[in-house]
């Protein structure tokens, strides 16, 4: 069966690619967008996730302008924000940043917000914001030190990836697990199918 539409993922995240693959979707193209992710003054974490996912999708759309190869494609973007209250924990690049985030998360609850933005072939913009509440157990200095040594915190919002070693830190979670990984599958598939993207016929291809 010939499938009409292509999907462009405005991200280079291997985790988001893996999640789409889990749903039977292979993006036709990856387009990581380099945008300024600095929060605005007093910006709520939820609003930041919404804004950044929209800006990434719009940047990809602008980059494809005039390229007939990708005319009629869907563009999907996402941005995940980790926060304690209104305090946003950025993507850790250095060990001291990661250490500070992990000590802050230790023994308390935090929120993970993912903004998902879909640009349809007729250039409509559809959005979803998904939130998950995660509680970490109290972490010992030994655990934090060894997690830092693993390197799995690097480039991750909140300095952890739940799909790796940090999954052992999670005491309780309310909401979507895939949201914490970086792309809430249920809501993403709902967006795609609601706008005419044929997800399920792809399953027959194996």
Length of the chain: 206
51: which residues sit within 8 A by CB, 6+ positions away? 43, 115
- CA dist., res. 73 & res. 122, Å (int): 9
- CA dist., res. 19 & res. 9, Å (int): 12
Tell the burial category of 184 from Cβ atoms under 10 Å away from its Cβ (0-12, 13-18, 19+).
buried
CA angle 184-71-206, nearest 5°?
Answer: 50
Please name the residue that has the structure tokens 């988001």.
16
- CA dist., res. 136 & res. 106, Å (int): 6
Q: Is the dihedral of CA 39, 40, 42, 45 positive or negative?
A: negative
79 is catalytic: yes
Catalytic-role residue among 34, 36, 67, 79: 79
Strand, helix or coil for residue 125: strand
- Compute CA 137 distance to the chain's CA centroid, rounded to the nearest angstrom: 23
Choose among 141, 163, 136: nearest CA to 152: 163
What is the set of active-site residues?
79
């Amino acid at each position: 069966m010939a499938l009409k539409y292509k999907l462009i993922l405005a991200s280079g995240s291997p985790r988001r690619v893996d999640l789409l693959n889990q749903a039977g979707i292979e993006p036709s193209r990856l387009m990581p967008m380099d945008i300024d992710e600095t929060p605005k003054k007093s910006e709520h974490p939820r609003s930041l996730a919404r804004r950044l996912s929209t800006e990434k999708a719009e940047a990809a759309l602008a980059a494809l302008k005039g390229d007939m190869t990708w005319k009629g494609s869907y563009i999907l973007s996402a941005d995940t924000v980790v926060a304690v209250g209104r305090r946003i924990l950025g993507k850790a690049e250095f060990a001291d940043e990661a250490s500070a985030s992990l000590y802050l998360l230790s023994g308390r609850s935090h929120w993970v917000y993912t903004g998902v933005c879909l640009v349809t072939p007729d250039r409509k913009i559809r959005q979803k914001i998904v939130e998950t509440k995660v509680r970490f157990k109290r972490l010992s200095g030994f655990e934090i030190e060894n997690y830092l040594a693993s390197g799995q915190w690097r480039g991750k919002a909140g300095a952890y990836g739940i799909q790796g070693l940090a999954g052992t830190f999670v005491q309780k979670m309310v909401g979507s697990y895939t949201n914490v990984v970086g792309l809430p599958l249920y809501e993403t598939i709902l967006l795609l199918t609601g706008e005419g993207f044929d997800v399920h016929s792809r399953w027959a291809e194996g």
